[in-house]
Amino acid sequence: MNEKVCTEVRARLPAYVARSLDPVRRRLIALHVRRCAACQVEFSIQREVHDGLASLTAGADTPPDGLLESLLENTSSPRGASPLRGAVSGARPVLSVALLVAGAAAGAGAGYASWLSAKNVRRRLRR
């Protein structure tokens, strides 16, 4: 495989996975990647990076149900703080961001925590 072509193709892979290339270049790169194993590897890496960033953004908007409440319970006691920090650094990137967002929300004030527990009490009373 022509190395100059590979260099050209790889330089455009980020734009290719982000779908910001014009149709002609897209087609040329798609054709090359299909035939070139080395560029195929590079393409799948670029696609993973792109998808990872996309899911990171989406994940930050919607942390899993109940995560915020369990975090607020942990942060309210001093002993819960250090295992929580370990969980943040050890977790997958998406989860880390969710935890950090939730952590920031917890740090924003005890007012939110009391609002949450008030909500829980109301939910329990309704049952």
- Cβ 42 to Zn ion shortest distance, Å: 8
User: Does 29 interact with Zn ion (rule: CB under 5 A)?
Assistant: no
Query: How many angstroms separate the most distant Cα atoms in the chain?
Result: 71
Who contacts 100 (Cβ-Cβ below 8 Å, separation ≥6)?
88
User: Does 39 interact with Zn ion (rule: CB under 5 A)?
Assistant: yes
Looking up tokens 């009490």 gives 121
Task: Judge contact between 60 and 101, C-beta under 8 A.
Answer: yes
User: Does 6 interact with Zn ion (rule: CB under 5 A)?
Assistant: yes
User: Does 28 interact with Zn ion (rule: CB under 5 A)?
Assistant: no
Who contacts 111 (Cβ-Cβ below 8 Å, separation ≥6)?
none
- 82-121 footprint of Zn ion as x/- string (CB under 5 A): ----------------------------------------
d(CA 116, CA 49) in angstroms, rounded, equals 36
User: Does 36 interact with Zn ion (rule: CB under 5 A)?
Assistant: yes
- Cβ 21 to Zn ion shortest distance, Å: 16
Give the number of residues in contact with Zn ion, rule: CB under 5 A.
Answer: 4
Q: Which residues bind Zn ion (CB under 5 A)?
A: 1, 6, 36, 39
